[in-house]
């Protein structure tokens, strides 16, 4: 453990690099017309992944960094579901053919806030608009506190095969401090329901760096979570940005762990999961050795997108819903963030894209390097630059931040190959940032490096 490095780099604000360039650099210059043109230009053999954003919850978790809002009336959710259906049809019509789909991911908010029959109708609409492959992974994010048996049955009938459960922590003191009281028994009951329905892929999300959290409380959460034997864990550091997420002001900053404490918590969780037999995948995921994600990591085919680490190899991600982001070969597009503006655009028969980014050749090169660093803790600059018609020395020269990382022992440079030192992998975002040509103007929008 390099405590000195955690102190030196841990307070820096950096992206999580689920895209490059990152969302703060999207511009209104890329809007609905650009998106329509890009969809129509998709090559004949293209396949896609679908992301559906459901920006509603029953109550606000104070740590939340997602685009979501609190709803009490089911009519609002039902109306939104109909808008999603309309957007699916509009996008499919713009593409002009029924393209293959290999991954579907429902994110939120709380996707399972929808009525069970509405969820089934939405899945049916996607299957009509796109050719969803029989082998497709269909994943849904779940709040265990509100999941119903009817929704589990609808998920089963709709072909859902992976569920991602928000756990965060089992410490009741921390739960009260973040306004998310969720018992171990609730979580265990949901896991049992899902498995009895044949939804075998189970992911748990954990968070460190929360108010009142300690290494001991983190380890107790891990111990109890392991008893439920999920296939995967995602372990994220809490990003405290109250200037942008006003509900985070409800969290007392005086009881938040500092950078060193966050580092200790992250290391303790990682060590406990690895001792239990899970394979660390990239920065913050852990999977059983026989899980497809662990195998992708071993085979160096792991990818990274807006859902984090993924086995999805596709180059096309279609985003549906308010604030949803899509990725096409030409660049990124993001829908209107506000539900009202999003719904108004779709109701008028227009794509809801409000901003985006058109990739340059340099962006594609840097995105390739950053993805390999984030996925493999190393990058063969010679091989990557050769694919893009660039020179590795030029990339090294354009990354002055590397000098201090190398002198501090974080990065090792061997010819044209860079590698993050094993005891410094918790700083992989700092290494990726060395190749980010857009970084400095948006640091304030990002979370701590550790």
Whether residue 343 lies inside any domain: the answer is no
Q: Which of 104, 110, 107 is nearest to 59 (CA)?
A: 110
Question: What confidence score (pLDDT) does residue 445 get?
Answer: 53
* pLDDT tens sequence for the chain (450 residues): 466 776 677 667 788 899 999 999 999 999 999 999 999 999 988 999 999 999 999 999 999 988 899 998 999 999 999 999 999 999 999 999 999 999 999 999 999 999 999 999 999 999 999 999 999 999 999 999 999 999 999 999 999 999 999 999 999 999 999 999 999 999 999 999 999 999 999 999 999 999 999 999 999 999 999 999 999 999 999 989 898 899 999 999 999 999 889 989 999 999 999 999 999 999 999 999 999 999 999 999 999 998 889 998 888 999 999 999 999 999 999 999 999 999 999 999 999 999 999 999 999 999 999 999 999 999 999 999 999 999 999 999 998 889 999 999 999 999 999 999 998 998 999 999 999 999 875 544 555 555
Q: Which tokens hold the place of 353?
A: 């894209």
* Angle value at C-alpha 217, between 215 and 222, nearest 5 degrees: 95
Residue 64 lies in a domain: yes
The whole-angstrom distance between residue 201's C-alpha and the CA centroid of its chain comes to 17
Task: Note whether residue 337 is domain-resident.
Answer: no
- 305 and 386 inside one domain: no
Question: Could you tell me if residue 127 is inside a domain?
Answer: yes
DSSP string computed for 343-403: HHHHHTT---EEEEEEPPHHHHHHHHHHHHHHHHSEEEHHHHHHHHT--HHHHHHT-THHH
- Cβ-based neighbour number of residue 229 at 10 Å: 11
Distance CA 381, CA 398 (A): 13
Give strand pairing partners of 162.
Answer: 139, 201
In terms of domains, do 318 and 384 share one? no
**How many CB atoms lie under 10 A from the CB of residue 32?**
18
Based on the structure, what is the number of domains in the chain? 2
Q: Given 271, 305, 325, which residue is the final one in a domain?
A: 325
Same structural domain for residues 117 and 14? Answer: no
100: in domain: yes
**Which of 304, 325, 346 represents a domain boundary (last residue)?**
325
In a domain, 115, yes or no: yes
Residue 12 and residue 34 in one domain: no
Q: Cis omega before residue 410 (within 30°)?
A: no
Q: Which of 301, 325, 349 is the last residue of a domain?
A: 325
Residues 52 and 168 in one domain: yes
Residue 193 lies in a domain: yes
List the domain range (segments joined by +) for residue 365: 1-22+360-450
Residues 58 and 182 both lie in one domain: yes
Per residue in 329-373, pLDDT tens?
999 999 999 999 999 999 999 999 999 999 999 999 999 999 999
Token pair of 377, please? 């803790």
CATH of the domain at 290: 3.80.30.20
In terms of Cβ atoms closer than 10 Å to its own Cβ (0-12, 13-18, 19+), residue 377 is buried
Residues 29, 16 share a domain = no
Residue 333: name the closest of 307, 356, 360, 350 by CA: 356
C-alpha 251/C-alpha 210 separation (Å) is 9
Evaluate if pTM is beyond 0.95.
no
Q: Say which CATH number the domain at 420 has.
A: 1.10.10.920
What local confidence, expressed as pLDDT, does residue 381 receive? Answer: 97
201 and 215 in a single domain? The answer is yes
C-alpha to C-alpha distance for 428 and 450, rounded to whole angstroms? 10
């Amino acid at each position: 453990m390099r405590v000195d490095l955690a102190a030196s780099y841990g307070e820096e604000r950096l992206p999580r690099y689920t895209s490059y360039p990152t969302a703060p650099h999207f511009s209104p210059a890329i809007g609905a017309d650009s998106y329509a043109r890009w969809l129509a230009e998709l090559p004949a053999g293209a396949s896609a992944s679908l992301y559906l954003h459901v920006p509603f919850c029953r109550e606000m978790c104070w740590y939340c960094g997602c685009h979501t809002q609190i709803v009490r009336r089911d009519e609002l959710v039902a109306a939104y579901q109909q808008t999603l259906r309309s957007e699916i049809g509009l996008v499919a019509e713009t593409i002009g053919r029924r393209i293959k789909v290999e991954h579907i991911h429902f994110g939120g908010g709380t996707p399972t806030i929808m009525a069970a029959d509405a969820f089934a109708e939405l899945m049916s609409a996607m299957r009509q608009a796109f050719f969803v492959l029989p082998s497709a992974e269909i994943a849904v994010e779940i709040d265990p506190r509100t999941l119903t048996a009817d929704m589990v049955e609808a998920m089963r009938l709709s072909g859902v095969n992976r569920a991602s459960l928000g756990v965060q922590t089992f410490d009741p003191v921390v739960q009260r401090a973040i306004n998310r009281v969720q018992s171990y028994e609730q979580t265990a009951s949901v896991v049992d329901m899902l498995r009895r329905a044949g939804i075998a892929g189970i992911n748990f999300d954990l968070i460190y760096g929360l108010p009142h959290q300690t290494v001991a409380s983190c380890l107790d959460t891990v111990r109890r979570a392991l008893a439920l034997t999920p296939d995967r864990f995602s372990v994220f550091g809490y990003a405290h940005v109250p200037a942008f997420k006003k509900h985070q002001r409800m969290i007392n900053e005086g009881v938040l762990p500092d950078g060193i404490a966050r580092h200790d918590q992250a290391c303790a969780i990682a060590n406990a999961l690895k001792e239990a037999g899970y394979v660390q995948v990239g920065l913050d995921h852990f999977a059983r050795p026989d899980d497809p994600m662990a195998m992708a990591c071993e085979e160096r085919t792991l990818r990274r997108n807006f859902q984090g680490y993924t086995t999805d190899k596709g180059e096309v991600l279609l985003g549906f819903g308010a604030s949803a982001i899509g990725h096409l070969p030409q660049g990124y597009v993001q829908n209107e963030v506000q539900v009202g503006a999003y719904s108004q655009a779709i109701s008028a028969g227009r794509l809801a894209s409000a901003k985006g980014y058109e990739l340059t050749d340099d962006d594609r090169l840097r995105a390739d390097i950053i993805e390999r660093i984030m996925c493999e803790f190393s990058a063969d600059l010679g091989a990557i630059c050769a694919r893009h018609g660039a020179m590795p020395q030029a990339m090294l020269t354009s990354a002055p931040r590397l000098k201090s990382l190398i002198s501090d022992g974080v990065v090792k440079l061997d010819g044209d190959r860079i590698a993050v030192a094993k005891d410094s992998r918790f700083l992989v975002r700092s290494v990726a940032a060395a190749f980010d040509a857009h970084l400095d103007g948006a640091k304030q929008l990002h979370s701590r490096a550790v």
